[in-house]
Amino acid sequence: MNKTNDINVSSLSKAQRTSKIIRYTVIYIFLTIMAVIVIFPFYWMIISSFKTLEEYRANVPTLWPQHIVFENFSEAFSKANLWDLFLHTMYVGLISTVLSLIVTVLSAFAFARLNFKGKNVVFGLLMATMMVPGELYTITNYMTVSGRLPFLSEPVESLDFTNTFAVLIFPMLVSVFYIYLLRQTFLQIPNELYLAAKVDGTSDFKYLWKVMLPLSVSTIITITILKMMGAWNAYIWPRLVANDAAHQLITNGLRGASFTNEFGDVNYPAQMAAVTIVSIPLFLVFVFLRKYIMRGVSRSGIKG
Amino acid sequence: MRIILQNLTKCFPSRNKKSNEIVTAVKDLSIEIPDGKLIGLLGPSGCGKSTTLYMICGLQKPTEGKIYFGDSDVTNLEPEHRGVGLVFQNYALYPHLTVKQNILFPLQNLKGAEKLSKDEMLNRAQHAADLVQIGELMDRKPNELSGGQQQRVAIARALVKTPRVLLLDEPLSNLDARLRLQTREEIKRIQRETGVTTVFVTHDQEEAMSISDMIVVMKNGVVQQVGEPQKVYDDPDNLFVAQFLGTPPINTFDGVVTGGKLYIGNDCIADVPGVEDQPVAVGIRPEGFIPADDGGLSGRLINVEVMGRDCSVVFANEKSRKPSVRAIIDSDLKIATGGDNAIRFNIKRNKVFIFNNETGERIRF
Amino acid sequence: MNKDLKKPKNRISLKGDLDGRNQYKAWLYLSPALILLLIFSFYPLINTFRMAFANGYNGLAIVGGETFDFGIENFKTVVNYVDFKLCLKNTLLLCVITVPISTVLALLIAVALNSIKPLQKIYQTIFFLPYVTNSIAIGMVFNAMFTRVGLGDLIQTQGIINNIIGIFGIGPINFVNVGSSWGANMFVVCTYIVWNAIPFKILVLLGGLQNVNKQYYEAAKIDGTSKLRTFFKITIPLVSPMLAYVIITSFIGGFKEYSSIVGIFGEGMGPGGNGQMNTIVGYVYNMLPKSNLGNASAASLILFGIILIVTAINGYVSKKKVHY
C-alpha cells in the first residue's frame, strides 16, 4: 500500500518538474526576445556611429562595424555644433535648476510647515493646474514673451524676449509637481523637530536651512536631475522662442542639424554619432542616479 | 523657578471641521509649582496634561488665564524667551546631526549679549553630556544610539541652555520596561543635581508616584488633586483619583451608610460616625484586607496567587463593581476557607474610602 | 526618511498658536512661485479661453477700434478643417493602438520578470534602459532603422528592419521614405511609442507585483488553482490600481503625442514633410507662428476637454473595477 503511494507521488512530481521546466523555458525565451527588441535600437545607434558611410549603406547589413571609425563623432560635433549646444543647455539647465529649487523649497515650506488663511484653497488651485496640458499655456506664453500683450494693437518691441536665455528659463521655472513632491517630503519630518527648534528659538528660515533641507536631500537631488533632464530633452518651447544659433538647446540642434552631404545623401553614421552623444549623459544618469529618477517619475507618470 | 498657573483654559476648534464645536482641553486650571521640585502631571490620555505642558513651554497659548515664572508674567512670551527646555516623547533629535551637533544646536541660536564663544559652547555641551553620562557618544548619529541613550541626548539638549524650567513629555513611554526603571532614577538624579524645576507628563501612575515630589492628577482638562504622591494616594479627594492611583487598583463596591455604619451588602465593615444615611461608592485598597474568621467582609475565594513576599487573594463579592476583588496580603498569613470557599476579611480603617454615589466626591469620616 | 524617529501617537495641533503669527510670512515664501504661476499659468489659462471664443482672433487685439465678437466660430473652423480631422484621427488611433499593446506587453514582461530568480536583475536593467531617453534622439534612430537609403534603382540599403523582415520573406516595405503610405507610417510610429512606453509600465507593474503578499499565491497553490486562473483571479485584481494608473497616464500621454513623430519625421510630421502623421498638439504648434491664435486656442481647449473626459471616465471605471 505504502509503496504504490510512493510511486504515484514520485511520478506526479516528475510530471510537475517537467511542466515547470517547460514553463521556465518559455518565460526565459519570451524575456530574451523582448530584451533583444528593447535593446536593439540602442545597439543599432551605437554600432552605426562607428561605421563608415559605405559600410552603413551596404546592401547586406553588418551587425558589427568592419572598420571602427571615429570620424563620425568629430563630424557630429562640427555639423551639429554640439559643443555650443551643450554649453547652452548646461547654462540654461543649471540656472533653471538653481532658481527652480529656491522657488520650490520656499513654497513647499510654506505649504508643509506654515499655517495661513487660504492655504488649502491655494494648494488645491496649484494641484488643479497639473491636470491642464502644457500646450494650453504655450500659446499665450508665446505671445507674452514675444511682447504681444493683450488689448494692444502692436507688439511691444522692448518686451520681445524671444531668442534670449531668459525666455528659456523663467516661463518653466515653477513646477507644481516639484512643489508637491517636496511638500510631501517635508510633511514626513516629525512635527516635534519643529517644536523643539522653536523652544530653542530657531527661526523658521534657519530651521528650513539646517533641518528640513538636510533631511530632504534625496528629493532635492531628484528635482535637480529631473530639471536638468528637462533642459536636455526640451524641444517644443525652445524651438518656438529661441531657435537661433546663439541660444539653441541640444535637442533642437540635434533635430535641426543637417547631416546631408553635397550629393543630397544623409550621412546616417554621423547622425547616429550625434544621437549617441546626446544619449550618453542620459545613460549615465540612468545608471548612476536611477533611484532618484524613479522616486520622482513613478509618482508623476511623466517620462524623462 | 516657581511656576504659577492661574485659571488656565485652552480651547481648540474641533477636529471635525463641519461642526463648529469647540473642544476644551484644559479648563480653569490653577496650580502653583514650587521652585526646584519634580512635578508629575498625571492622567489618562486626552486629559489635557500635554496641553498644559505645551502652555508652560509656550508652544501653545492659553485661551484664558495667566502663567507666571517667578514674579514675571510669561503668558504671551515666545518659547525661546521663556528659558525652558523641552524633551519630547519621541526625543525629536535631529537625525542628520551628531550628538554633539544636536546638543550645540540650541546654543547656536543665542543672539546678542547671550552669544557664546565657540569654546564656551563646546564646554557647555560637554558639561551637559557628562551630566547625563553620554560624554563618549558625542560623535555618533542618533540612529546609532539606543532608546535610552537618545533620551539622554534629548535631556542634555534641553539642559544645555541652563533653562529655568525643564519639561518632559512622556519621558519613559518609548523605553522598554527594564530601561524605564533605570531612567526614572536617572531623571530624578539629574533633577537633584541641577536643581531645575522640572515638570513631566505621564499617564503611568507608578512612574509619577515613584519620582515626583508632587503630582497633579487631571481628568478631562480639570485638575482633580494636587499633592505629594503618598498623600494623594492615602487621601484621595474623589473616586477617580482613588481609582487612578495604585497597582493593583483599588477595589470598588456599592455600599450603603445606615445609622453611622458602612455596609457592603449585609456586611458591616466600618463605623462612619456623622455620615448621613445614603448609598455610597466604597473603595478599599488591596492592602487593606486582613483575613480573619470573624471579619466583617465576606466573599467567595476564587484564586490565590503567591508572588514571593506577598500573595494576592482573588475573591468574589456580590456588591463589587468588578467580577472579582483583589486583596494583597502577607504570604505568611494563613488563609482559612470555610465550606463553599467562603472567606472573611477585616478591613483596615485607613484603607477604606467612601464617595458620593453621584458626584464621586470623597465623604470623609 | 529616518526610521529612528517614531511618530508620536497624537500630534499636537498648533492651529492658531505658534503658526498663527506666520500669516504674512507664508505669503512671502509663496510669492515667487505665485507670481510666476500667475504670469505663466493662470493668465494663459484665462487668455486661452478668451482667444478661443473670440471669433477670428489673430493675436493682436483691437486694430483700429475693431473688436471681436465672442462665439464658437474658432471651434467650428477647427473641427471642420480637414487637417484637424486628420490630426484627431491620428491621435485617437495612436492611443487606441499603443495603449493596449504596451500595457499587455508590459504586464506580461512584469509577470515574467517577477517569476524568475536567476538573471532577474540583468533583465530588469535591460527593460528599464529606454526609460530615460530623449524622444527626439531615439526617434531619429527609429527613422534610421526604417529608412532606405537611395532612390529607385540606386537603393543601396533597405534599412535594417527591411533586412530583418526580408529573412521571413516579407517586404521590402517603404516605411518612412517619401511616398510611404499612411499605414506604414502609423506602424513605425506605433512601434516607437510602444517601445518607448514599456519601461515605465514595467516599472510600475513590477513594483505592484512585488508588493503582493506571497501568501495569496501560496493559498491558491494549496487550493490547486491553475496558473492561468491565478493570473486572472489574483494577480490582475491585485495590481489593478497600478494597471489603472499606467493606462490613464499613457492615454493622457498619447493624446499629447508630438515629439516622437518629430523625432521620426521631423517637423513636417510625415514623409517628405507632407504632414500625414500630424497630431492635435502638432496642429496647435503649426497654427502658432501663423498667428492663427484663435484656432490654436480652440484646438488646445479641445485637447484639454478630451483629457478631462478620459480622466473622468477612468475615475469612474476605477471606482467600479479597481480593487481596494
- Do B336 and B217 lie in one domain? The reply is no
Residues C271 and C223 placed together within one structural domain of the fold: yes
Rounded to a whole number, what is the distance in Å from the CA of C28 to chain B's nearest CA?
22
Structure confidence by residue, pLDDT tens digits, B210-222: 889 999 999 999 9
Question: 514553463: which residue's cell?
Answer: A23
Q: What is the pLDDT of residue A37?
A: 93
What does the DSSP 8-state code read for residue C125?
A: H
- Rounded CA Rg of chain C: 26
Among residues B244, B268, B295, the one where a domain terminates is B244
Q: Is the pLDDT of residue B253 over 70?
A: yes
Q: Are C57 and C153 in the same domain?
A: no
Neighbour subunits, A (≥3 Cβ pairs < 8 A): B, C
Q: How many domains does chain B have?
A: 2
Cell 499605414 locates to C183
Same domain assignment for residues C177 and C234: yes
B163 near A CB under 8 A: no
The total number of residues written for chain C in this structure: 324
Q: Answer yes or no: do B255 and B231 share one domain.
A: no
Residue C152, in any domain of the structure:
yes
| Residues B41 and B56 placed together within one structural domain of the fold | yes
Overall number of domains in chain C: 2
Shared domain check, B62 and B210: yes
pLDDT, mean of residues B42-61: 90
Same domain, C200 and C297: yes
Give φ, ψ of B291 to 5 degrees. Answer: -65, 130
Whether residue C140 contacts residue A45, with contact meaning beta carbons closer than 8 Å, is answered with: no
So what's the pLDDT on residue C140?
92
**Residue in the structure block whose three cell numbers are 529612528:** C4
User: Do residues C85 and C34 share a domain?
Assistant: no
Set of chain A residues whose Cβ sits within 8 Å of the Cβ of C34: 107, 122
CATH superfamily to which A80-257 belongs: MetI-like (1.10.3720.10)
- Per-residue pLDDT at A155 exceeds 80: no
Answer yes or no: do B174 and B54 share one domain.
yes
Question: Within chain B, what is the greatest distance between any pair of CA atoms?
Answer: 82
Query: At C2, is the pLDDT very low, low, confident or very high (cuts 50, 70, 90)?
Result: very low
Residues B95 and B137 in one domain: yes
- Any chains having at least 3 CB pairs less than 8 A from chain B are A, C
What is the domain range of residue B356? 251-363
- What is the phi-psi region of residue C182: left when phi exceeds 0, alpha when psi lies from -120 to 50, beta otherwise? alpha
Based on the domain organization, do B205 and B70 belong to the same domain? yes
Range from B97-111, B192-206, C5-19, C112-126 carrying the lowest mean pLDDT:
C5-19
Q: pLDDT tens digits for B128-175?
A: 999 888 989 999 999 999 888 999 999 999 999 889 999 999 888 888
Q: Which chains touch C (3 or more CB pairs under 8 A)?
A: A, B
C229 and C312 share a domain? yes
Distance from CA of B40 to the nearest CA of C (A): 19
Nearest to C14 among B59, B90, B150 (CB): B59
Read off the pLDDT of residues A161-214 as tens digits, 9 standing for 90 and up: 888 999 999 998 999 999 999 999 999 998 889 989 988 888 888 999 999 999
- CB pair distance less than 8 Å for C17 and B61: yes
Same structural domain, C29 and C127: no
Residue C112 maps to a domain: yes
Contact A301 C115 (CB under 8 A): no
Residue C33 has its nearest CB partner, among A179, A239, A251, at A179
Neighbouring CB atoms inside 10 A of A130's CB total 11
Q: Residues C219, C132: one domain? A: yes
CA C246 to chain centroid: 10
Q: Are residues C171 and C44 in the same domain?
A: no
Alpha helices in chain B (DSSP H): 49-57, 99-108, 118-131, 147-159, 177-194, 205-211, 229-234, 239-244
Contact state of B58 with A190 under an 8 Å Cβ cutoff: no
- Point out the domain boundary residue: B244, B267, B292: B244
Query: Has residue B107 got a pLDDT over 80?
Result: yes
Could you tell me if B256 and B229 lie in one domain?
no
Is A61 within 8 Å of A137 (Cβ atoms)? no
**A80 vs A88: CA distance, rounded Å:** 13
Domain end among B244, B274, B296: B244
Q: How far apart, in whole angstroms, are the C-alpha atoms of residue C265 and residue C253?
A: 19
What chain B residue is nearest to A215 in terms of C-alpha separation? Answer: B96
Shared domain for C88 and C49, answered yes or no, is no
Q: In the block, which residue shows the cell 449585609?
A: B266
Give chain A positions within 8 Å (CB) of C63: 153
B289 & B356 share domain: yes
CATH code, C181: 1.10.3720.10
Check B89 against A196: CB less than 8 A apart: no
Query: Is the Cβ pair A31, C5 closer than 8 Å?
Result: no
Q: What does each C-alpha distance from C107 to A27, A302, C101 come to in angstroms?
A: 13, 19, 10
Mutation site, A136, A229, A240, interface C, largest C CB count within 10 A: A136
B58: domain CATH number is 3.40.50.300
What ranges do the domains of chain A cover? 2-57, 80-257
Range of the domain at C247: 73-321
Tell me how many degrees the CA angle C241-C242-C248 measures, rounded to the nearest 5. 90
For the cut 60, the answer to whether the pLDDT of residue C3 exceeds it is: no
Of C42, C137, C293, the CB nearest to A278: C137
Assigned domain for C231 exists: yes
Residue B93 in contact with residue B37, Cβ under 8 Å? no
- Residue A286 contacts C where some CB pair is shorter than 8 Å: yes
Taking contacts as CB-CB distances below 8 angstroms, the residues of chain C near A235 are 136, 259, 262
pLDDT of residue C66: 52
In a domain, C226, yes or no: yes
Chain B hits for A215, CB-CB cut-off 8 Å, are 95-96
| Neighboring chain C residues of A266 at a CB cutoff of 8 Å | 147, 149
Q: Amino acid identity, residue A191?
A: N
CB–CB contact B59 A215 (8 Å): no
Q: Do C129 and A39 touch (CB under 8 A)?
A: yes
Q: What is the nearest CA distance from C236 to chain A, expressed in angstroms? A: 18
Q: Looking at CA atoms only, how far is residue C20 from chain B in angstroms? A: 11
Identify whether residues C46 and C120 lie together within a single domain.
no
Identify whether residues B45 and B179 lie together within a single domain.
yes
Domain shared by C176 and C271, yes or no: yes
